[in-house]
Amino acid sequence: MSDPTLADLTYVTREDLSKTLLESDSAPSLPANLAIVDVRDSDHIGGHIRGSTWVPSSELDYKAPELVRTLKDKEVVVFHCVLSQQRGPSAALRYLREKKRLEGLEGKKGEEEGNGKEKGGKKEQKVLVLKGGFSEWQEKYGPDKRLTEAWQKDIWEFGY
């Protein structure tokens, strides 16, 4: 099987993501099965999606193995940057490729130990990209404290 490409990525709209967050039993916290990874760098100032994890794209190469292990039990992982045109999709691809690499290593280790692991019954993790990134998110949900933390209108009022 070949490595994932940009054509393989799936996007989620801000409306669908906000609906998932607001309808969760754990609202305003993230649902236990969901992770949101914000890969903005210095442009992280001015707010973020409530409960998201900040992993600057400049650190993603060496943090990817840890991120895959940390998020392994999540059913859905959403990546985004400010526009989700470059860093967000790139981060999702790096994550998927690292996940595939680590699963390959675990499979080899399991074969060597004679206990080949199966994914039996476990759902395949969905990796998504937030369409329009934080820029579009904050246009609609910036002031909504149930969905956005530390939002600063003066930083965003004239657009990105």
Q: Which of 17, 60, 64, 81 is catalytic?
A: 81
* Dihedral pair phi/psi, residue 36, rounded to 5°: -120, 125
Give the span between the Cα atoms of 38 and 56, in whole angstroms: 7
Report whether 92 contacts 86 (CB < 8 A): no
Q: Hey, CA dihedral for 96, 98, 99, 104, is it positive or negative?
A: positive
51 Rama class: left (phi>0) / alpha (psi -120 to 50) / beta: left
CA distance 55 to 58: 8
Q: How many C-beta neighbours within 10 Å does residue 102 have? A: 15
81 is catalytic: yes
Residue written as tokens 């992280």?
44
- Amino acid identity, residue 81? C
Give the residue numbers annotated as catalytic, written as ranges.
81
